[in-house]
Amino acid sequence: MTEPALHAPPHRDDTVVQRLSTLDRFLPVWIIAAMVLGLALGRAVPGLDDALAAVEVGSVSLPIAVGLLVMMYPVLAKVRYDELGHVTRDRRMLVTSTVLNWVAGPLLMFTLAWVFLPDLPAFRTGLIIVGLARCIAMVLIWNDLACGDGEAAAILVALNAIFQILAFALLGWFCLSVLPGWLGLAQAALEVSMWSIATSVLVFLGIPLLAGYLTRTIGERTRGREWYETSFLPRIGPAALYGLLFTIVILFALQGETITGNPLDVARIAVPLLAYFVLMWGGSMLLTRALRFDYQRATAVSFTAAGNNFELAIAVAIGVFGVASGQALAGVVGPLIEVPALVALVYVSLWARRFFPDRDPAPTGVPQ
């Protein structure tokens, strides 16, 4: 198969940005506003965090669970499931993503945690837990906004979900007990059941995945693909970003007092987190460029590698170490840094696409 030219027309990035809706174009503004609103609510309304956390689904607050499901459903409804077989045959992409997510990511976070937090064992352990929890949710939003391959992202997220169930506890034991022992560093312990991880994955990936598959299958059979993709998807598309903003408000309302009450601790935790997101995304983009991935799959691989499942990380940290622990605070700071960092990287990605082969010079991946 002939590979597309490496350099696309110079106006292409401008065209992509111009096609963004008002909601998409000002997404960083809305996200910052949602974070501020959540933090303000958490501080201003006594007992709000207890009320929001009163009902849980898979160890996650019910309002957050609802927001995540609403956020993920439109993205998974866009996936062309009849094309997944072609994606799964790309073994090079699957192997690259697996190595980045389950070898490079945890080891990079381990290294950064020890370099930046050698004197703060609780925060250090919390960061390592964040590094072990690979993304299965918001990465679909970032990939979609950056015009990445939706089918590839769905496959990589499903692969992460499987590895998360099978490898999270084992990698936690390795990174907190075995590897520090080999290096002569202080050791810690992590006890978390495979079932609790499986429950989280089944709820936050299984439900929207099934809903998306059924919606596309029934919609195409009854009205056809053209109607489904040109009429139905544009109607439900904005719900993904509404769900994202709602999730951010609730998440920061739950942890507002914790974050605003420990500004210096937040700053110490934020530095290695920011370094992690930039290095994982940048390193992944450079690697996929060297391997001559097209832009769409390079983007799917890179955002999957850079994102983390902060819902799982927070739930594990609270369940094992307690809600007031330093480990839990490190988990909470994760999305505080991840969300604006990856939104910024969406725009960097759109700029960087000129350096990649491109399968489709007129992408349709941006939600309208």
Q: Among residues of the chain, what percentage have pLDDT more than 70?
A: 84
For residue 3, is it within any domain? no
Q: Is the pLDDT of residue 102 over 90?
A: yes
Distance of alpha carbon 251 from alpha carbon 313, whole angstroms? 13
For residue 44, is it within any domain? no
- Please count the other Cβ atoms lying within 10 Å of the Cβ belonging to residue 13: 17
Q: Which of 13-17, 155-159, 291-295, 318-322 has the lowest mean pLDDT?
A: 13-17
pLDDT band at 23 (very low <50, low <70, confident <90, very high): low
For residue 55, is it within any domain? no
Q: What is the pTM assigned to this prediction?
A: 0.76
| pLDDT tens string 117-162 | 998 898 999 999 999 988 877 788 889 889 899 889 888 988 888 8
* Tally of domains within the chain: 1
- More confident: 364 or 281: 281
Q: Which domain holds residue 133?
A: 12-33+60-248+263-354
Q: What tokens does 250 get?
A: 């609730």
For the ranges 56-70, 100-114, 252-266, 352-366, the maximum mean pLDDT occurs at 100-114
Please, what is the average pLDDT of the chain?
81
The whole-number pLDDT of residue 250 equals 81
Q: Are 237 and 92 in contact (CB under 8 A)?
A: no
Which of 31, 23, 85, 3 has the alpha carbon at shortest distance from 247? 31
Q: Taking residues 38-49, what's their average pLDDT?
A: 79
The whole-number pLDDT of residue 286 equals 97
Q: Are 3 and 345 in contact (CB under 8 A)?
A: no
For residue 121, is it within any domain? yes
For residue 332, is it within any domain? yes
The whole-number pLDDT of residue 14 equals 47
For residue 177, is it within any domain? yes
The whole-number pLDDT of residue 363 equals 41
Contacting residues for 227 by C-beta, under 8 A, at least 6 apart: 219
The whole-number pLDDT of residue 8 equals 39
Q: Which of 40-49, 113-122, 231-240, 337-346 has the lowest mean pLDDT?
A: 40-49
Which residues pair with residue 134 across a beta bridge? 308
Give the H or E element holding residue 173. helix 150-173
The whole-number pLDDT of residue 111 equals 96
Q: Are 301 and 93 in contact (CB under 8 A)?
A: yes
For residue 51, is it within any domain? no
For residue 73, is it within any domain? yes
The whole-number pLDDT of residue 141 equals 81
Residue 183, domain CATH: 1.20.1530.20
